[in-house]
Each structure stands twice: as structure tokens, then as C-alpha cells.
Structure 1
Amino acid sequence: MTDSDHSPAQPDDSIEIHERIDSGLYGSVYRATQRLFQRQVAVKIIKTKMNSADALAHAAPLARANHPAIVTVYTLQELHIPELNHSVPAIVMEWVDGDTFGKRLAQSKFTIEQTALVCHDLLDGIEHLHSKGLCHGDLHAGNIIILPSGHAKIIDIDANKEISLARLSLVSQEGAKSADIDYCRGAIFKTLRHSSIPLSVVTDHETILAQADSLAALRQAVESAIQASSQAVKTSSVVPPTTPQVDWLDRPAIARVASEEVISLLDTQAYFDLLKLPYPETRADVLSLLASEAAILPAGSNWDITNLGALLFAKRLDAFGPRISRKAARFIAYDGVNKLKTKTDVPGTRGYAVGFEALVEFVHNAAPKNEYLEVAIREEFKMFPKQALRELIANAMVHQDFSIDGTALRIEMYDDRVEISNPGVPAIPADRFIDEDLSRNETMADLMRRLGVCERKGSGVDKVVDAAEVFQLPAPDFRVGNVRTTAVLFAHQDFTDMSKSARIRACYQHCVLQFISGKRMSNQSLRERFGLNNSGSGSATASQIIAAAKEKNLVKLDEEGAGSLRYARYVPGWV
């Protein structure tokens, strides 16, 4: 649409435009007065060549919502915008006093009472949208206003997505709702982290929040955190105060840098690309969103870049000194099946998030060919599935213990395997990696999920096990040492070359994978996993493996299954 397509500039007696007060990713907002009612209003225009129908499509969903935690839309009309010198379709909305969530996170911490208000208002608003058959689609820090009273108000939705649930399939509806839940979880994480709630309480509840898969579960987790913090405050009144421990990721990697240095040191373009958002027009908007992620923190007129911000978004990790550069992922390739001869030793240079895809591609390309699959399918395949490498590298990044100095994430490739290890030991047993997930660094994990690096739910190990089965590889192994956790992907082996322990491990993992998929392992499904024939000998071999797994209490008969052993079904031993 050109300027000539707009209606000519004419005086407008109903709305008086005063000033532009914000220029966001998709639109500009002006402070104005609605003369008829003598009330202050917000006027929004969309930064596209938009006609009235487009503006109506953007405004209608918000207009359908009528809730204290959601901005009220008054009307849609053609308005003359002085700085544009022409008339455009404009959305006239309730004026909301306050700061965006992102800007508020750069100010003083929320009190416990304010924390409760913000979290409950966000949950109430999204719950109301869902009850009206709508989803939000993009609950980022710029779409939330924190009022002086401490309440929160949702001021916009993602008009570029299909937000009407009725127009989506049942599967897509659940996906859209789940995305809103993830957005809420991220906002709640930030609110709790930026509150006066004791860090120990926040840390204790991050796991509960991470596992919450509904708005009701999130609400319950928030209420539990508020109650626990109130109790902690009472306890602290009779116990001598101690110096609070600052999470390693929240500590400054580099302190007091100017705003232009932040842009120079961090790959902000990649950050917005990963979030699939257009790059903001102003530096202030860029910094505001980075601050909302705790990637940077205000330091007077300057900024501290946190360890989190440096690790994820650094253009060059060595620009932040050895404490950060030593955390870089390191790729080592050996000649043979031991460490005697090194072929390649390459340390990573970019931040985890901005360099992730390139790292996965590099490791995948370095793998030997899978000649077994190439013969069977007549296509070129690398030995280790890219999906499996992706999930294990992401896991190693998120689950490492950053407090351990002098060691970092390692990817070591041998002729017959690849080992991906990280500093720290897990909080759950290694044999439960497939069905459970407990992140050591939940704030980082949440951000990595939203950036598309990590799985939304779970650890992604189920995808690793599934890929190993599809590629006819031995079962991956997960090893816990004194200070490191290692995941091992093996090169292809014929069934006859697999050790007894490898067969039992594959049986157990196959049983868990079937169970979390709503299925049950059987003799037949195990034969298919190993590529055994359907003759009597194949069935007998599978039975022997199942018996060995049962003896180790790794699998057991499904009590709800058929009584005949011929049709026996099995579940994991911990069920």
C-alpha cells in the first residue's frame, strides 16, 4: 500500500494524538485523548502495509476478551497520525499506566505480594483467552505491562499466528495451548528470579514449574512457592541472616559496558532470528528484551552481561575471558577406538545458542559413514543420527554443573562411538533419563527451549533412543562418574557382535520407549528392534534377552496384559 492508497489527511475531532510512546516489533503506540469521554487512550498502528480488514483481524481477538488482566479494545477507526502525515487504520485501546515486563525486570525486585499478583494475573489472562476459544501465541516481555499496583496486564497477541482454536485441529489446539503454557512458565520463572523470594525457595520450585503441563499445575506451583517463601521469611526473622548465594548464571561475565558494547559482544541478530522475531528498530528495545531474559542487567547507565548472556549469545566466547571461554564445547576426534592418537581438537568459539546449529552440523559431518544403512537403503548416511547428536549436545549444555572449574562440555568421536559429556552428576538415576527430566539450570533450559534448541518437555533422550532403533544402532549408554556425566552413541554392530549387557540395555530402553508411547513391549516388538527373524530361533533369542532383563528387575510382565506367555506384554521394572 502506498501513501496514495491512504485516505487524505483530515482533521479528526474524536481522537487527539499527543505523542508516540513506544515502537515495538510489530507496531507503534501513541498516547492520545478520546475527546468524547475525555479519557486517555492508547492508539496502535501496525507496522505493515495494513488495510482496515488487517487491523480488524488484529484487534478482534483482544476485543472478544473481557478480563481485568487483558487490555480493553474500545474501537477501530481511521485516524490521522501527524508524524506519518496520513490516515491509517488504528486500534483504540485502554490506556495502561506502567512499564513493560522487560523494563520492569531491569528495576527493583518484586515483593512477594507483587510476585503473586503478576503470576496469577498472567495465568488468569491466558486461562480466560483459552476459555474464549483463543490462544495468545507470543507472551513475550513486551506484551505485558506491570501496573504501579503490582498487577499485570496482557496488552497484545501475536496477530501473525492463527489464534482462534476453533480453526485448528485437535492436535494443533493442544499444541497452541501448550505453547501458551510454556510462555507463561517462562514469564513466571523470570518473575520468581526477580523477586525477593529466597533463592533456595525459587530453586526448589523450578523443577516443579518445569514439570507443570497445565495452567492449573503452574498456578499450584506458584502458590506453593509463595507459601514456602512466606514461611522462609518467618523463619529468617529468628535465624541470623546469611549472605544469599547468587546463581552462577546470574553473575556478571563482564561488568559495566556501554549499550553499544553489548550489541558488539552479543549476537543480538541471531537471538531474534532464533525467536523468529523481527529485529527491533531501536537499541533500547533490543536491550530491554535482553534484560528480560537476564542476559544483561542494568548497572547505572551501563550494563552487566551475565554469564547466561555470554554463554548463550557471545559472538566470541574468548572476548569474555578464560572463565567463560573454558566453558566452550570442545570437539575431539581420535584415530581408532582410544585416545592414543588425536586427529582433531577444536574448541567452540560462539555462544551455545547462537552457535548450536553450526556445532551440530560440524559434529555430524565429522562422523564416519553408516555402511550398513547405505547398503540397505542405497543412500549415504552418517553413522550417528543428527537428531540424536542434537538432543545429547543440548542436554549436555543445559545439565552441566557450572560451579565446577577447569572442565567443560566435551564431544569425543572414536571410530566406533561418540561420547558427549558434561561436568556434574545428575539428580536422577541414569536409567531414568528416558522418561524423566530434572534440569540443574532450569532458567537456562527454559530459554533454550524457547529458542528452539531444547525439547519443550522432557530431556529428548526418548528421541535419542528412538533414533538408535531406527538406525539399527546399539542402545546408547549413559554413564555417571565422580564429576562428569557421559552419553555414548555407538556405531552399528551386527546383533551377533553385541555383548549381553548391550542387548539387555537395548531391551530395557525399548521397553521404556514403548511404555511412554502408550504401548507395551512384546517378543515381536523386541525382534523388530534387533532385526531378528520371525522364526522360532528369533523368538527364542528375544525371549532369552527379556528373561535376562527381568532377572535384573529392569522389565516385568504387564499385569493388565493377557495371561498367555505367547502374547505377553512387558513394562519397565519401576512401574
Structure 2
Amino acid sequence: MFQKLEYIRVGSYTKKLNDFPTLKKQLWEKLRDTKFEDTIAKQDLQEINISTHINFQPYFDLKQIPIPSDLDKILFYLLEDKILSKQDNGLYSITNLGAILFANQLKNFPSVGRKALRIVKYNGKNKINMEQEILLDKGYVIAFSEIMTLINALLPTKETINPTTGIREKEILYPQIAIREAVANALIHQDLSITGTGPVIEIFDNRIEITNPGSPLVDIKRIIDTPPKSRNEKIASLTRQLKICEELGTGWDKIATSCELAQLPAPKIEIYEDSTRVVLLTHIPYVNQTSTDKIRACYIHTCLKYISGEYMNNSSLRKRFGLGTTASASMSRLIKDTINSDLIKPLDPTTAPRHMCYIPFWG
């Protein structure tokens, strides 16, 4: 961005910006402090043309406000929430905030055109056989319900018999709240300054991978107890008002808790150079889980217990994995492995082994 600040127009002349060091510094500071959400995505629009580019109906529906019949009142709300801005010439601009959340078609906005969500379904456990690919070229708010519907339609299911009605029913293999929170986090907290890429949801027979541009803002080992941080504060604030996210830092807690209650392998976070991936796994019997998966589950279980004012022990860990008392020795070995990984520690090392409780390393 800085390299582009090379010239400035002065009257009918073009001057090198380096000839005006003070002005160059001021312009750079202004650009540096301007958030992506505030930047203009499309400008010079007349009032009547705004609805061609953005769909503001969900804004009023999710806020539970009757949509005004007067266009000026509609524009008042959209201006207040920085979805629009008014220009000095009396025309209107749509901000990046307005475009990425409410665009009828993201491709019509160059600044966010590559941020459309891709959903990819594979046949099997790898990427060799792609079964289906869907590009949702809409603002995230207006597409969110459709996103969840599409994901559920593509997820593997199992048939169960309703004990009351005797009717066969299909059961999705993942907790709905885990999927919803992971998707919302990927959309809202992605790094929008990384160009040429957007969020992707990949569905395999044994897992879901949800990837977004950017690295986490907090240490992933402390993601359960760390106060919330938002990379895109205005997007997070507005989506909270629209009940898509809570902005309380509880998203990962809900993902981890729902997977634990369903006795699924613990969700995991994978960090790459310029992206973050959340992986949700279908059921794997305890004996078939890797050592890494078991240790991660033990640590997350300990964290969830601790933030609830309780402590992890052999009994609670057995319950987390759906195991009986015969698995006590296995749980003891897992606890020892997790301690050796510097993730948990005894609450009181002097306690008798059978009464030992454990807390996270940061507790």
C-alpha cells in the first residue's frame, strides 16, 4: 500500500510525493489507521440504486425492526451502522462492511469479490474425488441460513429409529452448534487484508475442515480462557446485533463443549503461514484415536472443567470418552502423557493418587 503513495496531484501538475515528506507521513498514517471495514467498496450511488447492490431486508429482519416504508428512514439506519456513507456530493457509498455482509453479489465489489465462501464436498477421506463445489457469492449475513442448510445437506448422516414413533430418522454426525460457531468464527474473524483468498468449508467422510485467511490473534493453547479479541471489530459488533455471533469469546468453548458432550474427538486448530483451519472429527473409538488426539482431548476437558469451577480427574475423563471403570489405567496413562506434554498439572501434588485432580498448566 505504501509503495503506491508515489505521486500527488497539485492543480494541473503531478508532483512526487517524496517532495512533500510531511504530507506523505500524514497520508500514510491515515491509510494505516483506516480499517478495512470503513473503506469504500462502491461509490457514487443514488438512493434508488443502493438496493441493486445490497440486500438490506435481513438487516431489519434480524434486528426485529419493521422495515420502514420511507427510503430516507431506511438509509438512516444503514448510515448509522456504517453500511453506507454519504458523500460530499450528496451521493452514497457502500462500505466494505456493508458489502461483505449484505452484498447481493460479492463479485460486483472488487475489494471483497474473492471473499465469497466456498463449500466443497469430497467423496472419501481425501481430496482425490471432489463430489460437489458451491460458491456462495453473497454477503455473509444474507447467506448465513443458506450456508447452514447447505452444509447439513452435504454432511454424512446415520439412520436411527425414533423410540416413540418407530420412524427412521437421519441424524447428523456433528453437533449443530459446533458447526455454526466454527463457520461464524471463520467468516467474522478472517484476515480481510489477505487478498486472493477467502473462507472454505471442506466436507470429508470423517471430518469437516473450516479454513479462513489469517492467523489467530491469541495463543491457541489459551483460546478457552483468553478474553475475546476481534480482528474485524465492526463486523463482529454488527453480526452480534444480528444474532450471528456473540462477541463474548465463547465460540470455541461451545465448539469444544458440544464435541465433548457428543463424545467426539476434540476439535483441533491448525495454523499455517497465512490461514487457520478448524477440524471437526466424526466419532472415533478411543482405542483408535491417535496419542495426539487423546492428549488434546484431555487438555481441553481439563480447561472446560477449570473454567466451570471444577477439576479434571480420572473419573471425569472416563466419562468424557464414554468409558467404564475398567479404563481407569488407560486414563491414568493419558493423564501422565498430558502432564509430560506440559499441558496440565496436579491441583495438589501431595494428594493420594486415587483422589488426584488436575488443572491446566496456566491455572
Q: What is the CA-CA distance between 1:444 and the residue it aligns to? A: 1.1
Question: CA offsets per residue over residues 345-393 of structure 1, 9 Å max, x none?
Answer: 111122111211210121122110146xx48988531122211111001
Tell me the equivalent position of 1:572.
360
Larger CA deviation: 519-528 vs 432-441: 432-441
Tell me the equivalent position of 1:302.
91
Question: CA offsets per residue over residues 59-117 of structure 1, 9 Å max, x none?
Answer: xxxxxxxxxxxxxxxxxxxxxxxxxxxxxxxxxxxxxxxxxxxxxxxxxxxxxxxxxxx
Tell me the equivalent position of 1:324.
112
Contact 1:365 1:382 in 2 (8 A): no
> Among residues 297, 302, 305, which one is paired with 1:506 in the alignment?
297
Mapping 1:541-556, distance limit 5 Å: 541-556=330-345
Mapping 1:90-109, distance limit 5 Å: none
Partner of 1:326, secondary structure, is helix
Contact 1:364 1:382 in 2 (8 A): yes
Per the normalisation by structure 1, the TM-score is 0.55
| Counterpart residue type for residue 78 of structure 2 | L
Contact 1:364 1:384 in 2 (8 A): no
| CA distance 1:402–1:526, shift in 2 (3 Å) | same
| CA distance 1:315–1:242, shift in 2 (3 Å) | closer
| CA distance 1:387–1:379, shift in 2 (3 Å) | same
| Counterpart residue type for residue 453 of structure 1 | I
Tell me the equivalent position of 1:430.
220
Partner of 2:327, secondary structure, is helix
Contact 2:97 2:234 in 1 (8 A): no
| CA distance 1:297–1:334, shift in 2 (3 Å) | same
**How many angstroms apart in 2 are the aligned matches of 1:439 and 1:354?**
21
In structure 2, the gaps of 5 or more residues are: 1-21
| CA distance 1:240–1:379, shift in 2 (3 Å) | closer
Tell me the equivalent position of 1:355.
143
Query: How many residues get paired?
Result: 332
Q: What is the CA-CA distance between 1:456 and the residue it aligns to? A: 3.9
In the alignment, is residue 335 of structure 1 matched against residue 123 of structure 2? yes
Partner of 1:256, secondary structure, is strand
**How many angstroms apart in 1 are the aligned matches of 2:171 and 2:262?**
9
| Counterpart residue type for residue 96 of structure 2 | N
**How many angstroms apart in 2 are the aligned matches of 1:562 and 1:292?**
59
Q: Which has the larger radius of gyration?
A: 1
**How many angstroms apart in 2 are the aligned matches of 1:444 and 1:255?**
20
Mapping 1:525-564, distance limit 5 Å: 525-534=316-325, 537-559=326-348, 563-564=351-352
Q: What is the CA-CA distance between 1:515 and the residue it aligns to? A: 1.3
Mapping 1:182-193, distance limit 5 Å: none
Contact 2:197 2:213 in 1 (8 A): yes
Partner of 1:355, secondary structure, is helix
Contact 1:478 1:488 in 2 (8 A): yes
Q: What is the CA-CA distance between 1:316 and the residue it aligns to? A: 2.3
Tell me the equivalent position of 1:273.
61
Tell me the equivalent position of 1:443.
234
**How many angstroms apart in 2 are the aligned matches of 1:343 and 1:240?**
52
Q: What is the CA-CA distance between 1:324 and the residue it aligns to? A: 2.0
**How many angstroms apart in 2 are the aligned matches of 1:438 and 1:565?**
39
Question: CA offsets per residue over residues 112-136 of structure 1, 9 Å max, x none?
Answer: xxxxxxxxxxxxxxxxxxxxxxxxx
| CA distance 1:484–1:459, shift in 2 (3 Å) | farther
Contact 1:430 1:479 in 2 (8 A): no
Question: CA offsets per residue over residues 443-483 of structure 1, 9 Å max, x none?
Answer: 21111111100124114111111111122211111011001
| CA distance 1:552–1:295, shift in 2 (3 Å) | same
**How many angstroms apart in 2 are the aligned matches of 1:451 and 1:329?**
19
Mapping 1:26-37, distance limit 5 Å: none
Contact 1:333 1:413 in 2 (8 A): yes
| CA distance 1:565–1:370, shift in 2 (3 Å) | farther
Partner of 1:444, secondary structure, is helix
Partner of 1:271, secondary structure, is helix
In the alignment, is residue 475 of structure 1 matched against residue 266 of structure 2? yes
Tell me the equivalent position of 2:278.
487
| CA distance 1:439–1:370, shift in 2 (3 Å) | farther
In structure 1, the gaps of 5 or more residues are: 1-236
Per the normalisation by structure 2, the TM-score is 0.87
| Counterpart residue type for residue 314 of structure 2 | N
**How many angstroms apart in 2 are the aligned matches of 1:264 and 1:562?**
69
In the alignment, is residue 400 of structure 1 matched against residue 177 of structure 2? no
Tell me the equivalent position of 2:6.
none
**How many angstroms apart in 2 are the aligned matches of 1:547 and 1:375?**
40
> What's the C-alpha RMSD, in Å, of the aligned pairs?
2.1
Tell me the equivalent position of 1:388.
178
Q: Give the % identical residues.
A: 35
Q: What is the CA-CA distance between 1:296 and the residue it aligns to? A: 0.7
| CA distance 1:530–1:335, shift in 2 (3 Å) | same
**How many angstroms apart in 1 are the aligned matches of 2:66 and 2:73?**
12
